[in-house]
Structure 1
Amino acid sequence: MEITKKQNIILSNPETRDFLADAFYSETDNKLPLVIFVHGYKGYKDWGAWNLMAEKFAKAGFFFVKFNFSHNGTTVEDPDNFADLEAFGKNNYSKELSDLGVVIDYFIKDPKVDDQKIILIGHSRGGGISIVKTFEDERINGLITLASVDTLDRFPDGASLEKWKNEGVYYVLNGRTKQEMPHYYQFYENFEQDAHRFDVEMATEMAKAHLLIVHGTNDESVEVKNAEHLHILNPNSELFLVENANHTFGAKEPWTEAGLPQDLNTVTEKCIDFINLKM
């Protein structure tokens, strides 16, 4: 089966700035469910094995989209590196939700897409963003979280928060690239100003979409109890735990092997089965 890949499509968001998206799909006369992958913190659309995952979804009969958030630190000219740390520092949840809305609005109009079947797949922090967006946007009728956080209130507190406020910026070391990645205090202010909107717990409880919660039991970044908590909040959800899987289900950057890592392959097949069953 031939897969069409349209990569580095430029999307414009007047509320943020231009960013890139990819679409993977099989050539068919049938309208395809739209699956949108939402990357996480220090993530980007071409990280690790995400392209292989996209191909697997496309072969399974989905119109699969992945994209870079406008302020994730990459640029239109350099989508594979954190070439704009200033933009990274100016990112916030409002911008990410706005970008995700632009992605949905753009691809739902594609004649190959079945606009009655829209599914978000959010990884890590992207899971929290996807949960909030699913609650806000009734067009979304499927939601899958991969190693998702159960709250977006993941900020320093106490003296660390006060120091951040006074200095205006704090830095986090990127272990892979060795870059000191800035976070400006506006990020916290944006959260505080609209904390009710960013309430992942409330959005999980209220979301009407079919929900699959996937997590590795050996996640080093987001503890598995986050997934168990989301499942408790939404008892109609399905919880799928992958024994001994880590935060990225075996993938890493760069990913040089021809196939998906075993755990991510298992997760992808589970997601495909879930969508086919529920949608």
Structure 2
Amino acid sequence: MIHKNLILHRKHQKPIVWDAFFNKNGEQKPLVVFCHGYKGFKDWGPWNLVAEQFSKANLFFVKFNFSHNGGTAENPIDFPDLEAFAENNYSKELNDLGDLLNFLMSEKNELLKEINPNNVTLIGHSRGGGISILKASNDTRIKKLITWASVSNFSDRTATIGNLKAWREEGVKYVLNSRTQQQMPHNYQFYEDFKTHEKQLNIEAATKKIKIPQLIIHGIDDSSVSFKEAEALHKWNINSQLIGIENSNHVFNGQHPWNNLALPAALETVVSSSISFIKTPKKS
């Protein structure tokens, strides 16, 4: 069963567009929530094929667009709303994830009977990995955590978006999206919000707090987020598991659009390893 482009409406906030992939059998299934990365979206490349794999493993798989990722309810693919993208920040993404989890495990969710609210896994790719780590470190509903090519530090990335003095004076900085050729705007509020919440957005501190099973998967040759960042995450939580993927880039050799009916080999390994991790009983 596939439900596409469901909409979570929120008072005085932008809606969240989400998908659910699951076997409709009335059986409570582990809930898996996937968080996309920077300049990402829920329908990027092979993510739908990934979702189908989790569904076939009898998991309830949810993927969604962060509310300010640049997509809209009418067009959730790519970035038709650059004004929203400009107003995105880490705090908004954490709030989005919290609101979606609250909804999924509430009576308002008509699909609740298919979900085991006591078996919840977060998966985050790239920047979404950082968001997932922060959420998992302080939300007891999360029972397992998986990151794919995750960042280990928001501080350096936030400061290197551009010259801070010019950014503050001009109010906006732009980053080129090489695929769409769009100049992606970042309003200065992004930096201000980070500095205001810098302590709460510290991925190292969050990782050191994690007591639940944590799986870290990263391409050894990732040129966008160095494998050293995965090693840092693993060092900060010695009880975590680290899997290095050979001959893999930042998106595990996927691309957008993805017209193949099969996953790239690297991503297939990522998915199978993740499903195995979720289905392995937690050690008492």
SS in 1 for 2:113: coil
Corresponding residue for residue 201 of structure 2: 198
Mark the CA change 1:48 to 1:223 in structure 2 (over 3 Å): closer, same or farther. Answer: same
Check the 8 A contact 1:15/1:95 in 2, yes or no.
no
2:137 counterpart of 1:119: no
Unaligned segments of structure 2, at least 5 residues:
107-111
Corresponding residue for residue 219 of structure 2: 216
2:57 counterpart of 1:54: no
- Partners of 1:100 and 1:219 lie apart in 2 by 26
Alpha-carbon offset, residue 29 of structure 1: 3.6
Check the 8 A contact 1:142/1:275 in 2, yes or no.
yes
TM-score by length of 2: 0.95
Corresponding residue for residue 7 of structure 2: 10
SS in 2 for 1:10: strand
- Partners of 2:17 and 2:117 lie apart in 1 by 21
Check the 8 A contact 2:161/2:173 in 1, yes or no.
no
Check the 8 A contact 1:15/1:98 in 2, yes or no.
no
- Partners of 1:111 and 1:159 lie apart in 2 by 47
- Partners of 1:65 and 1:94 lie apart in 2 by 21
Corresponding residue for residue 31 of structure 1: 28
Mark the CA change 1:44 to 1:157 in structure 2 (over 3 Å): closer, same or farther. Answer: closer
Corresponding residue for residue 163 of structure 1: 166
- Partners of 2:116 and 2:131 lie apart in 1 by 23
- Give % identity: 49
Alpha-carbon offset, residue 28 of structure 1: 2.3
| Alignment equivalent of 1:152, drawn from 140, 151, 154 | 154
Alpha-carbon offset, residue 15 of structure 1: 5.7
SS in 1 for 2:163: helix
- Partners of 1:278 and 1:200 lie apart in 2 by 26
- Partners of 1:209 and 1:132 lie apart in 2 by 13
Corresponding residue for residue 271 of structure 2: 268
SS in 2 for 1:141: strand
Mark the CA change 1:15 to 1:212 in structure 2 (over 3 Å): closer, same or farther. Answer: farther
Deviations 1:231-253 (A, max 9, x none): 00000000000012110001100
- Partners of 1:95 and 1:21 lie apart in 2 by 16
2:90 counterpart of 1:93: yes
Amino acid in structure 2 at the alignment position of 1:57:
F
- Partners of 2:161 and 2:240 lie apart in 1 by 35
Computed over aligned residues only, the root mean square deviation of the Cα atoms, in angstroms, reads 1.3
- Partners of 2:277 and 2:75 lie apart in 1 by 35
**1:172-187 alignment runs, 5 A limit:** 172-187=175-190
- Partners of 1:190 and 1:215 lie apart in 2 by 28
Corresponding residue for residue 102 of structure 1: 99
Check the 8 A contact 2:6/2:18 in 1, yes or no.
yes
SS in 2 for 1:222: coil
Amino acid in structure 2 at the alignment position of 1:73:
G
SS in 1 for 2:101: helix
Deviations 1:184-215 (A, max 9, x none): 00000000001111010000000122100000
